[in-house]
């Protein structure tokens, strides 16, 4: 009989141990400072270009003060699910604030973004239903479709013609259809072709759900995300967002009609059977939403930083793919060269993220860089200079 644990010494696990022994293992690095444009690791100062802290709010005094005051009033945790004993007035305040901000009827807050996608998709998609997603959707969407009882299919990345083909071949009069896509794709930084997706959804009578984890706070005149960016807010049925990016905390939410959100609230196992978000996390988001609305100049600075870095990398000769947002991939191709560049960046005072298959397509390994509103010109110029030196040293440019 096979040993259940035999897999633990092979494959990914074995490669990780090999990387650790050779000194180029890039994951699970423990920082000795909070998320900011500069971080400390083992006493070394690094410029952080691997964070999703787009608006730079994790170190804002108003955000930290809100967390401290929430702990003083409500304590450190809720000790139960929202369904039973874990709902605070803070949770309801945040849901009302987010519904107003997102310009929707209702919002439901989950404990994590991953849980939000799992909980919503598995609640909405029934046995006779069809759920169709982009091939480069986030893992939480993929896992949510696996948990749903309906049939799950994929279409080629941002290829709406292929989506049309998949729906034409597989829809029936008996099933409901849910199309799910990232708004901003987390590795490539590109934006879904929402106008074309909406047209196909109308053609097939499908509902649309967007994962706007990397879009809310970044895209749109008011920072409401992808649908606002395209002027199509009334055409998107459900929008998912997270708090671990622009909102400087942890958690997630789903925004939509009151009827659908009410249904999810009473059916989603991920929501009903999980402990509720702690007071400090919730209060942090409330403060962040207020700052986002009061200080549009933060988004303006974020976009100036993006354009500077996008232009700078391309002028140097780096391949930045189809990036349209403050996520800028530096596409290397080979896994080994990608890890080598990561290590040299680290040694030169820059922290970024190496991404290989399956998070990136095979043969398209990359260094994922991302930028904050709070990065200074000096920091960004230093990053470009280091990339130029290392890119030439490794023959990438």
Q: Is residue 245 annotated as part of the catalytic site, yes or no?
A: yes
Q: Which of 111, 122, 186, 244 is catalytic?
A: 186
Distance CA 80, CA 145 (A): 27
Cβ(234)–Cβ(102) below 8 Å = no
Q: Is residue 55 classed exposed, middle or buried when 0-12, 13-18 and 19+ CB atoms within 10 A define those classes?
A: buried
Q: Is residue 77 classed exposed, middle or buried when 0-12, 13-18 and 19+ CB atoms within 10 A define those classes?
A: middle
Distance CA 119, CA 258 (A): 17
Q: Is residue 186 annotated as part of the catalytic site, yes or no?
A: yes
Distance CA 382, CA 3 (A): 51
Q: Is residue 375 annotated as part of the catalytic site, yes or no?
A: no
Distance CA 336, CA 156 (A): 27
Q: Which of 138, 157, 214, 301 is catalytic?
A: 214
Kindly state the helix (H) or strand (E) to which residue 140 belongs, with its residue range: helix 139-147
Cβ(261)–Cβ(106) below 8 Å = yes
Structure tokens at 137: 């959707």
Pairing of strands 130-134, 151-155: parallel
Cβ(201)–Cβ(236) below 8 Å = no
Distance CA 221, CA 60 (A): 23
Q: Which of 138, 157, 229, 245 is catalytic?
A: 245
Distance CA 211, CA 206 (A): 16
DSSP assignment letter at 81: B
Collect all residues with Cβ–Cβ distance below 8 Å to 91 and sequence separation of at least 6. Answer: 82, 109, 276, 277, 282
Distance CA 246, CA 250 (A): 10
> Which residues are the active-site residues?
186, 214, 245
């Amino acid at each position: 009989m096979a040993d259940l644990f035999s897999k633990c010494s092979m494959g990914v696990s074995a490669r990780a141990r090999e990387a650790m022994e050779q000194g180029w293992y890039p994951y699970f690095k423990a920082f000795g400072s909070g998320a900011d444009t500069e971080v400390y690791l083992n006493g070394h100062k690094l410029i952080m270009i691997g964070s999703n802290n787009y608006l730079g709010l994790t170190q804002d005094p108003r955000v930290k003060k809100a967390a401290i005051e929430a702990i003083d009033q409500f304590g450190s945790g809720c000790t139960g699910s929202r369904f039973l004993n874990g709902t605070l007035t803070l949770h309801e305040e945040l849901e009302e604030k987010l519904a107003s901000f997102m310009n929707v009827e209702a919002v439901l807050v989950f404990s994590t973004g991953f849980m939000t996608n799992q909980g919503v998709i598995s609640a909405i998609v029934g046995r006779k239903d069809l759920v169709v997603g982009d091939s480069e959707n986030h893992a939480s969407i993929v896992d949510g479709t696996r948990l749903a009882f309906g049939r799950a299919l994929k279409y080629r990345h941002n290829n709406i013609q292929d989506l049309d083909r998949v729906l034409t071949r597989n829809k029936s009069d008996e099933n409901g259809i849910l199309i799910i896509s990232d708004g901003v794709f987390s590795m490539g930084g590109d934006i879904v072709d929402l106008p074309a997706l909406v047209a196909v959804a109308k053609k097939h009578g499908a509902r649309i759900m967007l994962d706007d984890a990397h879009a809310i706070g970044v895209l749109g005149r008011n920072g409401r995300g992808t649908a606002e960016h395209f002027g199509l807010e009334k055409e998107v049925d459900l929008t998912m967002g997270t708090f671990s990016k622009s909102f400087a905390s942890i958690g997630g939410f789903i925004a939509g009609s009151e009827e659908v959100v009410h249904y999810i609230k009473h059916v989603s196992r991920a929501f009903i059977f999980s402990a509720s978000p702690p007071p400090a996390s919730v209060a942090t988001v409330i403060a962040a939403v207020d700052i986002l609305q009061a200080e549009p100049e933060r988004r303006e600075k974020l976009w100036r930083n993006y354009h500077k870095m996008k232009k700078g990398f391309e002028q140097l000769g780096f391949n930045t793919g189809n990036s349209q947002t403050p996520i800028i991939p530096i596409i290397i191709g080979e896994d080994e060269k990608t890890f080598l560049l990561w290590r040299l960046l680290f040694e030169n005072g820059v922290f970024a993220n190496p991404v290989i298959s399956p998070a990136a397509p095979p043969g398209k390994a990359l260094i994922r860089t991302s930028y904050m509103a709070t990065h200074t010109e000096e920091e960004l110029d230093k990053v470009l200079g280091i990339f130029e030196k290392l890119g030439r040293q490794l023959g990438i440019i």
